[in-house]
Each structure stands twice: as structure tokens, then as C-alpha cells.
Amino acid sequence: MSLNLSMPILVVDDYKTMIRIIKNLLKQLGFEDIDEAADGSEALNKMKEREYGLVISDWNMEPMTGYELLKQVRADDKLNATPFIMVTAEAKSENVIAAKKEGVNNYIVKPFNAQTLKGKIEAVFEN
């Protein structure tokens, strides 16, 4: 199954270094159209202006977390079909379960490499 490498991707993280790392990994995988947002509210505004093929969001951010962003995206009729991958440093099972209940498409625990990211993205688009 071939991924659409031209789809726009939104990377959401309040830590600039992490955004740079994820963008570099995505570029290694062949993605070129990558936007960024520093928190959930900025991401939500960008998502209302542009249709993204995928959102990759950190869990822990201020003032709006990735989890809150996920809930708002899933509650929005225009945005709710957007594929969403949650990234976190905490592998707490209750977090994974909560995110799954809210409709997250996949989950990545930091640290991760390009192969892990590729596998998670492919898994989202296999369905």
C-alpha cells in the first residue's frame, strides 16, 4: 500500500526541538507538505483553515493538550474524519485507552525513529 506523500501533515508540539525531529523524520519518509502548531488551540485554528491528511500531536501541551485537541477534532463535523496520531513520552495504559475512546487512530511513545513513525502512519491508512 503506497502512502500519499503529498498529503499535508500538521505536527503539533509545544517543544520546538520535537517538531523539528518529527518534521525531519517525515521528510526522510518522503513527506514534504508539513505544517506545525505550538499547541492544540493553534492546531485547531490551522485545521479550520486547511484540510490536513494527518495530524501528529503531542499529548502534553499548554494551554490546550493534544488530548483536548483530539476531543475537539472528533466533535467537529468538518474535522472528525482527519487521521490523528498521538505522541507521548508516557506509555500509561489509561492514556492509551482514553485516547482510543476519543477516536485516536494511532499512538506513538517517545523516543521513536523513522521506521516506527512510518509503521504507525501506514497502519492508520491501511483501513
Is residue 65 assigned to a domain? yes
pLDDT surpasses 70 at 1: no
pLDDT at 114: 96
Q: Taking every pair of C-alpha atoms in the chain, what is the biggest distance, in angstroms?
A: 38
| CATH code of the domain in which 117 resides | 3.40.50.2300
What is the average pLDDT value for the chain, to the nearest integer?
95
Whether 104 contacts 67, CB under 8 Å: no
pLDDT reported for residue 124: 96
User: Average pLDDT in the 49-59 region?
Assistant: 97
Domain range for 23 is 9-126
The total domain count for the chain is 1
Has residue 76 been placed in a domain?
A: yes
Is 3 among the domain residues?
no
Q: Is the pLDDT of residue 3 over 90?
A: no
pLDDT, tens digit, 9 for 90 and up, residues 78-126: 999 999 999 998 878 899 899 999 999 999 999 999 999 999 999 999 8
Query: 91 lies in a domain?
Result: yes
Q: Are 55 and 10 in contact (CB under 8 A)?
A: yes
